[in-house]
Structures are given as structure tokens and as C-alpha cells.
Structure 1
């Protein structure tokens, strides 16, 4: 809808400028009463277009700048503003030529141009997000519609659900319920886009997070994250992360639904889709950070699982730089937990070896201008992790020596 509005606007503006300038100049020559009545009609129509009242011809620089900033989204604050922008972005000689040509038109031809402008104005009318969402949700709830139409409705909701106000509006129009229902659709693509919508709607939105969690959706999303269809698994894990981020109740429910087992299964599978690995290690680091921030009273045994720790350290040697960075950050957070045994990181996970290999790789990347800045930042993080690791090992040794 947004792209369609932009294309219509750009085509319409060019014609509107030529027609409008020609009509207004002809009005000064012919003193035509009929043209005066047209412009009053245009003002009435502007109310339906949600435009502001027309401004004076001598627009201030700030108003002109504001019109410049808004024209790209397919809308203008006023008809005058649209014309101002169009005139400013048109060839003056061509405008002059077109204007002179229109002044030679007969009354009947001018009336025909008026009708063309009215038709263009109708095409420029763009429904509000709330109306578009209602249409999409109604289509989604209409089970008699073809699958293609319902899939289109989901695609539209994917775009509309991201702004917080729109996401909140979905809870009032039963939109969330309709999307959640599609998580059980037999077609993987439908399940995938439905999970994606829920993730976008709940991102940094406690109100929507609460609504979705109360509808019992988390267990289904965790199940979907185990799917053999990588797109479905990736989008489901994205939704899980968005639902429980900075949400203690959501995280408690995550562990109750064996989300930690799902996460460990993904992290220990080196052949799994790389996007899924990225999201998994990022989610792990975020969960540990919540522990460090004191948002949870107890440190869970899950974080001390030897298999989990080994999997994360192994990801530090991945060929994917993004995974390396996320894994290194996760290891840093894990080392900061009181319950973590640094000896396990050395004897079982061989963290010292992994840190050494990473240092060698980063030394090579630093010599490459393309990666130099990134490599320097990574090396600083690597050294920080190494210092924490060595410090915890020394503390263990001192304790053993004392005993």
C-alpha cells in the first residue's frame, strides 16, 4: 500500500501541477465561475484526505522544508504544499509551456481536465493504518477466502504491526488471536509469517508481550523453533526472543516450557541454519544478562551445563564473524555469573585455546583496512574476556592453595 501510494502520488503530482496551474491562470483570464466552484470542492475533499488547511503562497522556509520531508511517504500536509513541492521539482520551461497550452483550451476541455484532477484526487486517498489493519484482519478471519488472499492479509499485517500504536491496536481488534490461530496452519509459509508478525508486534512492547503470553502462544513458538523448515524455525525463535526480552514473567514461562532445552539443542548443532545459530546465541547472552542485572533471584543450573558452555565456546571459532562476536559476548556474560566454574571453561571447553585462535585471526584482520575497525573492537572484547577468565582461574587456584 505504501509503495502504491508513492507511485500514484508521483504520477499524479506532475499532472496536477500542469492542470492546476493552467486552470488557475485560465480562471484569471476567463473569470469562470465554474472553476471557482471546482476549487471549493477540492477544499471540501481535502477534509476527507486529512490534509491541513491550505497555507499562504509565501510559505516560510520551515514549512517548505517540512513539505520536502513529507513528500516521500506519498502524502502532503496540504494541497498547496503538494503543488509547492511539485513546482519546485519541475522544469520551469516545461511548466510555462504546458500552462500556455492549457490557457488555449476551451471551456469544455477545461471541464474535462477538472474531472481528471478529481479522479486523481480520489486515487490519492490513502486509508489510515487502523482501517488497513481492520481490512487485513477481517480477511484473515474470513476462512472462505482463498489462501492467496489470506496470505496477502498476513503480509500487510507484517508491515502494519511494527509501530507500537498499531501493535497495541491489534489487541483491540482481535488481530492477535487471528494471527496466533495461523501458527497451527498446515502450510509452513503461513506459520512462518504469522510468527514473524508476533515478533514484530511484541518487540520492546510489554503490553503486547503480556497479551500474547496470556494467550498461551509461547509453547507453540518454542515448538516451531525446532522445525526442520529453517525459515519457520528462525522466525519462531525471533518471536520467542521478542516476547521474553526484558520480561521476567515471559522468561520464567520460557524455562517452564523447556525453552532452555530447545536453545541448547540448537547451539549444539553446528550444521543448523546459521541464522538460527545467531539468534540462539544472542538470546542466550540476553538471558544471562538478565541474571546479571538481578532481574532474576536465582542463577539457573542451565547456565552451568557443560554441554551448553562447550557449544558456545566452539562458536567462537566459527567462520561467521557475527556468530564469533555474539558467542564471545555470551561467554563474557557467563563468566560473570557467580555459579560459573572457570576450571570447566578451561578443562572442558578449552576456552584458553579458543581465545588464542581468535587472537591470531584478529591480528590478521587488523592488517586489512576493510576489517580493521571491527577487528580492533573485537580484540578489546576478547582481551576483556581473557582477563575475566584468568582472574577467575587465579581465584580458584588461590582457594585451592589456601585449603
Structure 2
């Protein structure tokens, strides 16, 4: 998945045998599964008792989620109440890194609460935490993805990405959108249907550098994994828009724009033809950029993308360019 959110999925042992195995591995990294099976009954019993004692007071995580949801369902208007809700959302995000917990959270009505109440609440701090939690629950969990999509998550998240006044809310909304469309055909279909590419384009034109980079990165990944959408993007003027972004003040964002352009024109004659349009001035722009950054080590990847685009789109004039260098 996706950037801007919680990475990885914490795997908890679900029974005493799992806890036993964990204890053995923690105590001796060289212990093998065969050695564990050959362990004496006395030693096994001692470890079982030790682990039972250690985890006797462990709180049921489903119960913890229920308590957090109870807090989130409580109406409040004071600062302490908002603080408790922020803490509840933060704690749920930690719990829902576990795939089983993410599914249980959805079954408990948590996703519906996030989408119908917290994504539209007045407090930006609660909105971004709610958007982040939608993504944390959704990534890599088809059941949760389907549930979120059925509840209208895509349109709500795209609206936040496009219009919210908070930079953090927009960034977290993009993270959740990414979790709902990457490796999820139904999510991508919904994204395309409600003009998500236009929203993504506008996000790349914002003045929030982090949002611009993440939007371009998502576009590049979508083009790589779903080249069938290249025609749609060309018809909406994506190539012209991306080239215009390269004419803004030079920044690390341009590397991601060039990467997206490489993905868009590769094995796609229509995209190449659009890049060659004289009024776009793309060839000259690429050559100027190469001259600007060729001796700056920190921009070597950007340079490679420029040279790749020159080769793909302007092969017949590349020899002249090489001689000029």
C-alpha cells in the first residue's frame, strides 16, 4: 500500500502454542522448530505456565475497540472530549494494523461511523485521523475495502482530497484512496467512474509539496499496473497538464512528474504523438532540463527520466542533442 499511513501488519499469536513459539524464539534465536518439538514435557509445562501468567491480564482487543467506539459515539462539546476522541482514533489506528482487528472493527460498525460522521466533522484533527484510519483498515483487507466502498467511501475521500481546507486531511484522504484502489479492481473502477483522475490532477497542481509528490507517485503506479487507462488520461489532457507542471519552479516533485510521463508514453503511440506536438515545446524543455541538472548528483534520477523521454518521444533528434552535449 500506500504512503502517509501505518506500514506493515502486526501479527499477534492467537493461542498458547503461538505464544510459546514466540517466547522460545525471543529467548534463543537459534532454536529451530524441531528443537521445540523435542523439548521435554517439564520444560514445556513450565513455559506454558509462565506465558499463561504473563498474559493472564491481557485485555481483549475486540473489547478495546468496542470501548473506543463507545467514546466516538458519545456527543461532546468540550476540549477534553475532543482529546479523548483523538486518542480513541489513534489507538484504533494502532490496533487495526492487525488484519483481524481491521475486519472486526468493520463488523462492529466502525467504518460506517468514520464515513458518516468523522470524515465530515468540524475538527480537522478528527477528520485526518478518521481518514487515516479508513486507509489503515482497508489496506490489504478485501473485506474491509468492499465494505468501505459500499458505504460510499470513494466519493467522500475524493471530496476531502479535492476541497478540504486542511493539508493533513487531504494527504490522509489520498492515502486512503490509494489503499482502496491499488490491488482492488472494484475500488479503481469506482475511482475512474467518478472522475478520480481529475481530482488527482488537481492535487498535483496544489501548493502542498507532499500532496503533489504523493499524487504523482500514485498516478505513476496506476499507469504501471493499469496501462488500459492511458487513453482516458490522454483524452483529458493529462500529458499537457504534466508538462505544464514541469515549467513551474524546479523542485524534487518534477522527478515524479517525469516518472509518470515515462509510464504514460511507454508502449503508447498516442501519448508519444501528443508529446511531439510542436506547440507543447516538450523536446526543448527536456533538453534544457538535462543541461540544467546533468552535473548535479542529487538529480540523477530526474536526468535519467528526461533522457528516457527524449529517447522514446524524439529518437530522430536525439543524435543532434548528444552532439550538442
Offset at 1:155?
1.1
Q: Which runs of 5 or more structure 1 residues have no equivalent in the other structure? A: 1-46, 68-76, 84-117, 395-403
RMSD of the TM alignment (CA)?
3.6
* 1:240-263 Cα deviation digits (max 9, x unpaired): 122112322222211322322222
Q: Which runs of 5 or more structure 2 residues have no equivalent in the other structure? A: 1-14, 31-43, 319-325
* 1:207-266 Cα deviation digits (max 9, x unpaired): 322111111111111111121221111211221122112322222211322322222223
From 136, 145, 149, the equivalent of 1:209 is 145
* 1:59-100 Cα deviation digits (max 9, x unpaired): 9xx663349xxxxxxxxx99979x9xxxxxxxxxxxxxxxxx
1:233 aligns with 2:170: yes
> Where does residue 39 of structure 2 map in the other structure?
none
Matches of 1:199 and 1:385, distance apart in 2: 34
Distance 1:135 1:382, change over 3 A: same
Matches of 1:345 and 1:305, distance apart in 2: 17
Matches of 1:332 and 1:230, distance apart in 2: 28
Offset at 1:140?
1.7
What does 1:5-44 correspond to in 2, within 5 Å?
none
1:353 aligns with 2:284: yes
Matches of 2:301 and 2:139, distance apart in 1: 28
Offset at 1:381?
3.5
| Alignment TM-score, normalising by the size of structure 1 | 0.59
Number of aligned residues? 280
From 68, 75, 94, the equivalent of 1:136 is 68
From 202, 206, 226, the equivalent of 1:265 is 202
From 260, 265, 276, the equivalent of 1:330 is 260
Whether the 8 Å CA contact 1:310–1:348 is kept in 2: the answer is no
1:313 aligns with 2:243: yes
Distance 1:51 1:393, change over 3 A: same
Matches of 1:338 and 1:237, distance apart in 2: 30
Distance 1:215 1:326, change over 3 A: same
Offset at 1:335?
0.9
| Alignment TM-score, normalising by the size of structure 2 | 0.72
Matches of 2:281 and 2:191, distance apart in 1: 30
Matches of 1:387 and 1:214, distance apart in 2: 44
Matches of 1:127 and 1:299, distance apart in 2: 53
Q: Which has the higher contact order (CA 8 A, sep 6+)?
A: 2
Larger displacement relative to structure 2 (239-248 or 137-146) = 137-146
> Where does residue 107 of structure 1 map in the other structure?
none
Distance 1:252 1:354, change over 3 A: same
> Where does residue 307 of structure 2 map in the other structure?
383
What does 1:3-402 correspond to in 2, within 5 Å?
52=20, 64-66=27-29, 125-143=57-75, 146-181=81-116, 182-226=118-162, 227-269=164-206, 272-292=207-227, 294=228, 299-300=231-232, 302-306=233-237, 308-316=238-246, 319-321=250-252, 323-336=253-266, 337-366=268-297, 371=298, 375-391=299-315
Larger CA Rg, structure 1 vs 2: 1
* 1:238-296 Cα deviation digits (max 9, x unpaired): 21122112322222211322322222223334xx211111122122223322432x5x6
Whether the 8 Å CA contact 2:93–2:133 is kept in 1: the answer is yes
Distance 1:276 1:376, change over 3 A: closer
Distance 1:147 1:391, change over 3 A: same
